[in-house]
Amino acid sequence: MRAMVLSAPGQPLALENRETPRPAPGQLLLRVKACAVCRTDLHVADGDLKPCRDKIVPGHEIVGEIEALGEGVSGFEQGQRVGVGWLGFTCGECAFCRRGEENLCDLAKFTGYQLDGGFAGYAVADARCCFPLPEGYSDAEAAPLLCAGLIGYRSLKMAGQGRALGLYGFGAAAHIVAQVAAYEGRNVYAFTRPGDEAAQQFARLLGCRWAGGSDEKPETPLDAAIIFAPAGELVPAALRAVRKGGIVVCGGIHMSDIPSFPYSILWGERVLRSVANLTRRDAIEFLALAPKVPVKTTVQIFDLGDANEALSRLRRGELTGAAVLVP
């Protein structure tokens, strides 16, 4: 099979021919139909996340067709379409797993980081981390639901019930969250890189009430804000934009250092928190909700061999919606 492989952080991915993997007990072998490109893939490729394995195949928004079932797998059938996200393995036994917080599992493994991911013709995945996908989405359209959608949805839950919601960074995750939030009757305020008219126009098209630069302030204080852009300076900016008791959620896995800020902007019971990974419950809830909204994903399709080009465009902020690789 063809696979795009990361040999060392900072290096471009290299196209390799590899043996097609075999499913171990409890795993599914998937023929990859599409795999979206997430900012986390960029953090892995650039070495912002500590490298933990040589020669990893990135990609954790996998849409695949089941080619073979490993020993002991039930509840799936050959030919079925499933999705795999970032959470690739949990132990099921640690205190976090027992509390239903398997997103925080001490022994968790992540797709495209510790486990080979979907920038390849085939992938194996733990069947407990594979989810049937809603019909009505093409393979490429379904792929961004699996991280941008899932992490976005978990971030939205953590942001509470407030009506006035700010989204900082209007990329793949925000373009999905904006639609869910509008469906829930919220007013969405989109903050982009200052001067990024195209992203602001895109946000308005998706139903955002207001779109502007991250250096601007909306007319009303926000009830909550979610930061998807990996820029630490957005944390004090978002704290200044939320009302007393408001919530600021950091939705990304990596962020540049947060500059020091006066306590007064956190005072007034404002809450600052991060969101890590996702639970199976998040996946099941969101994949049922998406077709009801209905969430429409905007994708730019690239051939698997052009993964480096897709990553470069994401790094430069030149994508509208999500990049998706098709083998």
Binding-site ranges for Zn ion (CB under 5 A) = 38, 40, 90-91, 94, 97, 105, 147
Residue 306 Cβ, how far from Zn ion at the closest point, in Å? Answer: 19
Q: Which CB sits closer to Zn ion, 192 or 277?
A: 277
Q: Which CB sits closer to Zn ion, 40 or 200?
A: 40
Per the rule left: phi > 0, alpha: psi between -120 and 50, beta: everything else, 40 is alpha
**Residue (of 276, 295, 83, 62) closest to 175 by Cα position:** 295
**Residue (of 119, 145, 55) closest to 327 by Cα position:** 119
Residue 243 Cβ, how far from Zn ion at the closest point, in Å? Answer: 30
CB of 250 closer than 8 Å to CB of 227: yes
Measured CA to CA, the distance from residue 58 to residue 159 in angstroms comes to: 29
Measured CA to CA, the distance from residue 2 to residue 295 in angstroms comes to: 31
Q: Give the strand pairing for 164-168 and 187-192.
A: parallel
Residue 44 Cβ, how far from Zn ion at the closest point, in Å? Answer: 10
Residue 324 Cβ, how far from Zn ion at the closest point, in Å? Answer: 13
Measured CA to CA, the distance from residue 104 to residue 95 in angstroms comes to: 9
Residue 47 Cβ, how far from Zn ion at the closest point, in Å? Answer: 17
Q: Which CB sits closer to Zn ion, 96 or 183?
A: 96
Measured CA to CA, the distance from residue 126 to residue 25 in angstroms comes to: 9
Q: Which CB sits closer to Zn ion, 5 or 36?
A: 36
Q: Which CB sits closer to Zn ion, 97 or 283?
A: 97
Q: Give the strand pairing for 164-168 and 87-89.
A: unpaired
Q: Which CB sits closer to Zn ion, 217 or 280?
A: 280
Question: Cis peptide leading into 294, omega within 30 of 0?
Answer: yes
Residue 273 Cβ, how far from Zn ion at the closest point, in Å? Answer: 19
